[in-house]
Amino acid sequence: MTKKTPQKKMTGAEILVQSLVREGVEVVFAYPGGASMPLHQALSHEPSIRTILPRHEQGGGFAAEGYGRITGKVGVCTSTSGPGATNLITPIADAFLDSIPMVAITSQVGNTLIGSSAFQETDVFGMTAPIVKHSYLVTRVEDIPRIIREAFYIARTGRPGPVVIDVPKNFQEVSIVPDFDQPMDLPGYNPELPVPKDELDRVIPLLLNAKRPAIYAGGGVVIADASKQLRELAERLQIPVATTLMGVGCMPETHPLSVRWLGMHGAVYANNTVNEADVVLAVGTRFDDRVTGAVKKFCERATIIHIDLDAAELNKNKRVDYAIRADAKAALTYLNKQLDKLGHPVRKYSVRNRPEWFGIINTWKEKYPLTYEKRKHEIVPQQVVEELYKQLHGKDAIICTGVGQHQMFTGQFYKFEKPRRFSTSGGLGSMGYGLPAAMGAHVAHPELPVVNVDGDGSFLMNVQELGTIHIERMPIKCIILDNQHLGMVVQWEDLKYDSNRANTFLADPHAKYDPTHHTPELIYPNFPTICAGFGVKCERVVEPAELAPAIKRMLASKEAYVLDVMVPHDVHVLPMIPGGMSYRDVVLERIAGDGKGRRASDLGREIPSAL
């Protein structure tokens, strides 16, 4: 956005806000304090920016991240100094690990007080250094326009990530005539990459001659807006596609070439397809431990081609045969162009295209589907997600989650057709992400249904954002899979510690709680009461017959709505590959915790191999 440089004086805070306007910022999630008052005064006079007051800085940070994750644009959050800034550290780290474009503007004590242990002084620059793409401490008010311009450019280009700008209070108050036309000064930073045509040409014969090829696609495909190109390549060569959790939606999960997502709680057929392929094309992914398990055994017989924008990710976690640094969209576009020249058009899926390979994969799909057992008088969590998907199927909706079992159930039983429709914390695994992320998602797409599927433990971590949702009139829907426990930790207690409960029960430990009857007076906390205090409608659901009508009422509401769905705590997320083990060691049945359950190694041997 180009505007004529004003000739009048402006305060540093006004300059900062006008710099945001010039970057096209539409919304800022901002919590005020003593050191940031000048900035908030300036924001209050700028009608083109919507300033949303979260009820906690972490909520504001996750909301900005949710906005950036759904749109690909830079999410913006601000805080005051000291504890305000430290409350942003978790969202900043979350954005860093998941490569989300975000600019976090923290206010600092006056520059003459820095280093004196002044009231609410913290070294934000130092504390966030390992978890940002870049950071700034403003030392001259004249530099603010350039710094803002650079920060947004860095955050959104190359491999996206968070940028921190720490602004001393006195620089927000001093007045100067600003220069908004200052050039950026970023020596050594060049995110634009040439297409490595020779390297890509070398791997085309491998893809063409593969007997059991597989594509392993990560969040980098989503970030690069390369989903169309990925699908085209898969259809040209008739290659099955597995995604990571961050890559969910980059290949429609109802497409016959999709094998859904792989990893610790991924589908058996996804893990088998990638691990038993002879050629694996990994695009925009980093071989995370939650995907690979025992990294030495991951794709140990395959020729691996790894395409990634970040040179630091190539041969970092897994040594590969062909490491190609390239933008995912540019690389896939080039491959498609070359394959078209070689006479490989886009084709519809048919098992006849690769009868042996697709025959094996389809056998895995039939024998090891993502499934669960229903109960007569209890609602199991998978049932909730499945019913939500049924009622939203065919509609363009955004699904957010917190972190825990509910997150995995959502990934397993909701089939995503598009990228940027699943907002969840991947790399950092931050509980409390779902509710504020839903705020950011709604602001990004107010025309779409936004549903946060959460756990009772995760929901509580940022429950205060119900206040923001109510005041801002956000019609966000929330489903709490309420099992009165920290479900994922309980599952690990069953697996490793003979079901000994060590601080994983969230209700009153002195009450005689009966999980099969959900005695109302013993359910803790009382979410309907809490929600009522925020002015948000909440309904509790206990019996299976109540579920579908309740979800229908929730989705039909024009206002925010919370469903507190009581579910049993003894349901495990399956399949499950225990940490550090291979896809052959997958657990398919619930571990009883008494030493009598069949363990991973026993169950793993039952899975037939294509090798």
Pairwise pLDDT comparison (509 vs 135), residue with the higher score: 135
Mean pLDDT of 451-462: 98
Q: What is the average pLDDT value for the chain, to the nearest integer?
A: 94
Same domain, 274 and 147: no
Q: How far apart are CA 412 and CA 381, in angstroms?
A: 11
Binned at pLDDT 50, 70 and 90, residue 4 comes out as: low
Nearest in space to 380 (alpha carbons), one of 541, 254, 549, 490: 541
Q: β-strands 175-176, 10-11: how paired? A: antiparallel
Same domain, 246 and 274: yes
Say whether pLDDT at 359 is over 50: yes
Global confidence as pTM = 0.94
Same domain, 271 and 317: yes
Residue 72 lies in a domain: yes
Q: How far apart are CA 484 and CA 393, in angstroms?
A: 29
What are 221-224's contacts with CB under 8 Å, separation 24+?
221/247, 221/250, 221/283, 221/284, 221/328, 221/419, 222/246, 222/247, 222/249, 222/250, 222/284, 222/419, 222/420, 223/72, 223/99, 223/159, 223/160, 223/284, 223/328, 224/284, 224/309, 224/327, 224/328, 224/329
Residue 182 lies in a domain: no
Same domain, 417 and 544: yes
Directed axis angle between helix 89-97 and helix 57-71, to 10°?
20
Same domain, 237 and 307: yes
Same domain, 242 and 302: yes
Residue found by looking up tokens 């996750």 in the block: 62
Same domain, 93 and 171: yes
pLDDT on residue 510: 72
pLDDT on residue 171: 97
Residue 309 lies in a domain: yes
Same domain, 209 and 331: yes
Residue 184 lies in a domain: no
Number of structural domains, the chain? 3
In what helix (H) or strand (E) does residue 59 lie, and over which residues does it extend?
helix 57-71
Q: Tell me, what CATH number does 205's domain have?
A: 3.40.50.1220
pLDDT on residue 602: 53
Mean pLDDT of 367-386: 96
Is there a contact between 403 and 425 (Cβ–Cβ < 8 Å)? Answer: yes
Q: Tell me, what CATH number does 83's domain have?
A: 3.40.50.970
Residues forming a β-bridge with 129: none
Same domain, 245 and 134: no
Same domain, 126 and 201: no
Token pair belonging to 113: 């007080």
Supply the range of the domain harboring residue 314.
197-367
Same domain, 348 and 411: no
Residue 580 lies in a domain: no
Residue 189 lies in a domain: no
pLDDT on residue 511: 67
Residue 191 lies in a domain: no
Q: How far apart are CA 449 and CA 554, in angstroms?
A: 11
Same domain, 416 and 486: yes
Residue 53 lies in a domain: yes
Catalytic residues: 57, 119-120, 169, 488
The pLDDT > 90 percentage for the chain reads 90
